[in-house]
Structure formats: C-alpha cells, structure tokens
Amino acid sequence: MSASVQLDDLDLQILDILIKDARTPYLEIARICHVSGGTIHVRMKKMEDLGIIKGTKILLDMSKLGYDVCCFIGVYLDKSSSFQDAVSDMSKIKEIVELHYTTGAYTLFCKVICKNISHLQELLLSSINLIPGVQRTDTFISLSQPVDRNVRL
C-alpha cells in the first residue's frame, strides 16, 4: 500500500501547514486543524514512521554567508561500475549540496554552492574531475532561482 493511500485529509492539512512554515508549533497546527495537540503529535509520529517526514532543514541565504555561485554539474562516468565509488567520493565534498542519479546524458547531476568562480574552478580541477571514474563534466551556472518550493499537496 502506498503512503499516499495511508494519509487522510488531516494528515494532508498538517503537511500543507508545515510546507508553508516548518517551524509552526504543534499547538498552532492543532488550533488551525481544530484537533488536540496530542492528535498532531500522533499524526506527526505516524508520518515520520512511514518515512513521509524525513526531518527538517534550515534554509540559508548562502550569498550572505559568502557563497555567491550556485551551479549544476552534469557528470559523465566512464563505466557503471564506477558509480558507487564516485557517489561515495562526491558525497564527501561539502560544496555538493545535492547529488542525483539520472537518466539521459549524465550519470550524475549535482547542485554545487561555491564562494566564487575561482572556488568553482578549484573544486572542478582539484576535486570532482580527479575522482576515479569521472570521465568529464558539464557545468551550468545558475543566474537566479525564481522558484524554490516543495510540491503542494
């Protein structure tokens, strides 16, 4: 049975509130949903146990912390047997904030945050391109991010 089948309208309402603001207190959610705080705790625990809620994150304005370049790097691996080791090596690079196994031209597609273009160049030349199995990369610099959201339920 899929997780969406196990969720009722109250669960979806709770998730909708948290998507808008993950810091909303449980008692505020309970007030909005017209249920007890205990009910919210039980529902949240259920959704955590189902793996629907995987945790919470703080969203940072990285440019205010000195990281002015956001880019996406398509990574070509030389052979499929390089995949696990390449993922392991790439996961150790702190500037890689997302890593996706993809269909299409690239084996891996990653989102990278750097301080500046020199930092990006150093990251490519001294880290990513030296990973065993990485054949080549294509880099796309993001100029802006007009949409950043979760899917609405």
Name the E strands within the chain: 69-77, 96-101, 108-114, 134-141
Each residue of 69-96: pLDDT tens digit?
Answer: 999 999 999 998 999 999 999 999 999 9
Please give the domain boundaries of the chain with CATH numbers for all domains. 3-49 (1.10.10.10), 62-141 (3.30.70.920)
Specify the DSSP class assigned to residue 90. H
In the three-class reduction of DSSP (H, G, I as helix; E, B as strand; rest coil), residue 66 is classed as coil
Structure tokens at 118: 């020199």
Maximum CA pair distance of the chain?
Answer: 56
Say what the pLDDT of residue 138 is: 98
pTM: 0.82
Give pLDDT tens digits for 34-51: 999 999 999 999 999 999
For 58-72, write each residue's pLDDT tens digit: 888 999 999 999 999
